[in-house]
């Protein structure tokens, strides 16, 4: 004979007293594993906040007994990288500016470090690709058209001391007069010399010959000292070439008239206070190598 399976009675559990449609809500205790896990998390939480930085205070957080600090870890990591680069940095500082390219290791380091310095400090004004913002006075650093010169030395000096700033006595400096605002030339004369500048930069287009002829005389008397007789510019004064199609502030009739009326006075900060010598050299090397370095 087979034993009849015994049907177990449901365990006797308290009810909460809630009943819906004859279904009772039982008050089962939490499973034991769950309760122990819960207690374990509390113990872990207390242990963690004693050992590690945890509770926010007014000026920081509780430090924790183990002295862990991600900030200190970063400082250690930076110090480690600095130490690893110390030798090549010293070599860069000691190198002849024109000799950096001849040493492949040094050149590779300067190129990489210079690109990083450029990304952090220069892209706001010169653009992420160093192509500048034409018409806004931020020059393209990729071409071979230089305001202040494109040799390694020229570029290094421009970056280190800046341009027309008030924070470095050795900054590159020059000032074009504001011919309109200071009434050095009247409106007619400005229209004439503007036509002459347009004829230099766009010789293939039609120009008013009478205006150009008058403008040429005004140019020779007022402008050639800085922009040169033929409009090719003067790097010792940062005077841009006017006989090409590259413009700091725009080459339209309106933009040129505006540049002559009120001179622009572009300013660049001196980087010798913000960058170390090896960084200055690296970024100069990077700029020199990016385009038209001379």
Q: Which stretch binds ligand HEC (CB under 6 A): 43-51, 64-72, 101-109, 175-183?
A: 175-183
3-state secondary structure of 219: helix
Q: Which two tokens stand for residue 160?
A: 């280190």
Q: How far is the CB of 34 from ligand HEC (least distance, A)?
A: 60
Q: How far is the CB of 244 from ligand HEC (least distance, A)?
A: 9
How many residues make up the chain in this entry? Answer: 294
- Is 268 a binding residue for ligand HEC by CB under 6 A? The answer is yes
Among 239, 278, 281, 285, binds ligand HEC (CB under 6 A): 239
- Is 122 a binding residue for ligand HEC by CB under 6 A? The answer is yes
Cα–Cα distance measured from residue 286 to residue 294, given in angstroms and rounded to the nearest whole number: 13
Q: Which stretch binds ligand HEC (CB under 6 A): 38-46, 78-86, 96-104, 237-245?
A: 237-245
Q: Which two tokens stand for residue 171?
A: 């900054």
> Helix crossing, 277-290 with 104-121: angle to 10°?
90
H-helix segments, 95-151: 104-121, 123-126
Which of these, 39, 38, 37, 17, lies nearest to 26 by C-alpha position? 17
Residue 243 contacts residue 201 (beta carbons within 8 Å):
yes
Q: Which is nearer to ligand HEC, 106 or 260 (CB)?
A: 260
Site residues, ligand HEC (CB under 6 A)? 118, 121-122, 124-126, 137-139, 141, 146-148, 155, 158-159, 163, 174, 176-177, 179, 193, 197, 222-223, 225-227, 237-240, 242, 247-249, 256, 259-260, 264-269, 271, 283, 287
């Amino acid at each position: 004979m087979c034993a009849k399976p015994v049907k177990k009675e449901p365990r006797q559990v308290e009810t909460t007293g809630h009943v819906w449609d004859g279904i009772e809500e039982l008050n089962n205790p939490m499973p034991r594993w769950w309760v122990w896990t819960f207690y374990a998390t509390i113990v872990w939480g207390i242990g963690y906040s004693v050992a590690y930085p945890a509770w926010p205070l007014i000026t920081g957080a509780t430090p924790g007994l183990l002295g862990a600090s991600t900030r200190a870890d970063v400082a250690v990591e930076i110090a480690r990288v600095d130490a690893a680069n110390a030798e090549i940095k010293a070599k860069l500082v000691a190198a002849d500016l024109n000799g950096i390219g001849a040493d492949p290791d040094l050149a590779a380091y300067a190129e990489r470090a210079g690109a990083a310095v450029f990304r952090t400090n220069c892209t706001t004004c010169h653009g992420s690709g160093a192509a500048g913002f034409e018409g806004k006075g931020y020059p393209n650093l990729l071409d071979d058209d230089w305001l202040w010169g494109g040799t390694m030395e020229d570029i290094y000096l421009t970056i280190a001391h800046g341009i027309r700033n008030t924070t470095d006595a050795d900054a590159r400096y020059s000032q074009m007069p504001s011919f309109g605002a200071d009434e050095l030339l009247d409106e007619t004369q400005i229209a004439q010399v503007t036509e002459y500048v347009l004829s230099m930069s766009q010789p293939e287009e039609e120009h008013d010959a009478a205006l150009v002829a008058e403008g040429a005389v005004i140019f020779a008397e007022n402008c050639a000292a800085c922009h040169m007789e033929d409009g090719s510019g003067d790097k010792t004064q940062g005077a841009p070439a006017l006989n090409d199609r590259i413009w700091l502030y725009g080459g339209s009739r309106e933009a040129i008239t505006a540049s002559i009326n009120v001179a622009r006075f572009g300013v660049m900060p001196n980087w010798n206070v913000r960058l170390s010598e090896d960084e200055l050299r690296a970024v100069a090397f990077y700029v020199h190598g990016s385009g038209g370095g001379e």
